[in-house]
Structure 1
């Protein structure tokens, strides 16, 4: 089968589509015939060696890429009870030493897989696992209840946009931060307030919410500038550990670490089918154009995910 890998770190030119044996499902696992796999920022950090340099990925002769998958179950390992061959599923591969999702087949634990949403394309479905679970866990860590206020940076992005929508479903009021050109789209996600991206972020947010917001989800990885918009004793949720600010003014700073959770993923897929969560695809490309996808993602300016198709 084909699978995307790197055997040395560097730019998009180091990406290879290798011919490798088809994996076999072990106990408690399912094998998925991949129809679509999205490209995420963490794929770029894997390719250029940043994850290995940070000690998050052990050195290996071959490093496989891809976290998100949408496809069809085509093999069951012993003990699997929740799925049958032929089921349309989505899943998250969160063990980086295992085979990647940007391949013809991927093996995942049964607990990492959920029924795919039925009312969107397979390409859209493939964008949900990583950003959906990241947004869901980030909001949970914020610890808010209905009526409280949440600042979401990067609200026009995949994670930030879903945080805004999930917060609105829980009655949480959001201050959404994005570029001025994205105001209409972000307001369409049910943000309570919109603040254009600015160097004076805390000042702009506090004009909307005097005293500061109850919590921050820093999807844009702004760090201390976003923390300054937080009230004393509030909660700051960081998505990238090295950029987490210190817990000033008795605040609580937590780092969100995503993991494969099939049960939560199934709940998110149901919200997609109900029209309550918005997924976006910027473009689709064949698997052998993965380097082009990396170039385009690195260039920025995308609204939606790039998705590789079989």
Structure 2
């Protein structure tokens, strides 16, 4: 089968399409025939060597939408089931940007019924990141949350999820994104920031760091979505990184919210698997309001 991999670190030109063996599911695993999967900034970071692994073949792709193709022992899925899953691809030889991928059965959820596989393939990584970040913030209905990068994939999901919980959301993004951010459920919008200490929590999807921490009230909470981007705690503000993890049960909840119209799945462009390097180059250009999706 074909899979997108990197063997040397660098720019988009380092992405190769390799012929590799079809993986076999072990106990508690399923094999998915991939229909689509988003390209995320973390894939570019793997390609550039941010997570190490020099001298190894590294797979790309975390998001997968497709159908179950084979099951291992004690895997509670059936061949032909349409599914979505998160398969972390740091330091592994095969990721989800491939024709087939093997994942833990408990990382899998039934695919949304209301959207196609291309859109479904944008949900797992960014949806779970947003949901798990909100868990860490531990805000209640009526609390005030500021989301940086509110027009992006993680930020957009966070705005929608928080608003659905009754949290008062301020979206921080570029001025030209105000209409989009408000359409996602933000009660307020800012392109410049807010008064220091005026919100109960910040979800820092844009990796602003210390300037965004200043907006949190004394004793509030601050969650960053990228390792190494956590500012030094001050004023009793609790600071944490979100480390996204596979969770089929939580993913199923997000799928339900997609089918109920609470969550919006945004696709910018699609690329065939053989054009994965071109997709990486487009990602590097920026300016996207939706995910690029790789289609084997």
TM-score (norm 2): 0.98
Does residue 216 (structure 1) correspond to residue 233 (structure 2)? The answer is no
Q: Which residues in structure 2 correspond to 1:237-256 (within 5 Å)?
A: 237-256=223-242
Shift of the 94–131 alpha-carbon distance from structure 1 to 2, 3 Å rule, reads same
Residue number in structure 2 paired with 1:36: 36
- 1:225 equivalent in structure 2: 211
The answer to whether the 8 Å contact 2:145/2:169 transfers is yes
Match of 1:76 among 67, 71, 79: 71
Equivalent position of 2:133 in the other structure:
138
Give a deviation string over 1:54-89, Cα, whole Å, max 9, x none: xxxx445201100000000010001112x1000000
For 1:184, the equivalent position in structure 2 comes to 179
1:65 pairs, out of 60, 63, 70, with 60
Q: Is 1:272 equivalent to 2:255 in the alignment?
A: no
CA distance in 2, matches of 1:165, 1:188: 9
* 1:155 aligned residue (150, 153, 170): 150
Measured on the aligned residues, the alpha-carbon RMSD in Å equals 1.0
Unaligned 5+ residue runs, structure 1?
53-57
Could you say what secondary structure the match of 2:212 adopts? Answer: helix
Alpha-carbon deviations, 1:16-70, whole Å to 9, x = none? 0000010001000000000001100000000011121xxxxx4452011000000
Unpaired segments ≥5 residues, structure 2 = none
Distance 2:59 2:188 in 1: 41
Higher fraction of helix: 1
**Match in the other structure for 1:55:** none
How many angstroms apart in 1 are the aligned matches of 2:105 and 2:41? 25
| Secondary structure of 1:242 counterpart | coil
Q: 1:90 is matched with which residue?
A: 84
Q: Go from structure 1 to structure 2 and tell me whether the alpha carbon gap of 1:30 and 1:60 turns closer, same or farther (over 3 Å shift).
A: farther
- Residue in 2 that maps onto 1:8: 8
- TM-fit CA distance, 1:222: 0.4
State how far apart, in whole Å, the 1-side matches of 2:197 and 2:47 are: 42
Are the structure 2 counterparts of residues 31 and 60 from structure 1 closer, same or farther at C-alpha, using a change threshold of 3 Å?
A: farther
Which digits, 9 at most, give the CA deviation of each residue in 1:93-141, with x for residues without a partner?
Answer: 1253432000000000001111000101110000000000000001111
Number of residue pairs aligned between Structure 1 and Structure 2: 295
CA–CA distance in 2 between the matches of 1:97 and 1:243?
21
Distance in 1 (CA, whole Å) between partners of 2:13 and 2:149 is 29
Secondary structure of residue in 1 paired with 2:235: helix
| Map of 1:297 onto structure 2 | 283
Tell me the residue number matched to 2:123.
128
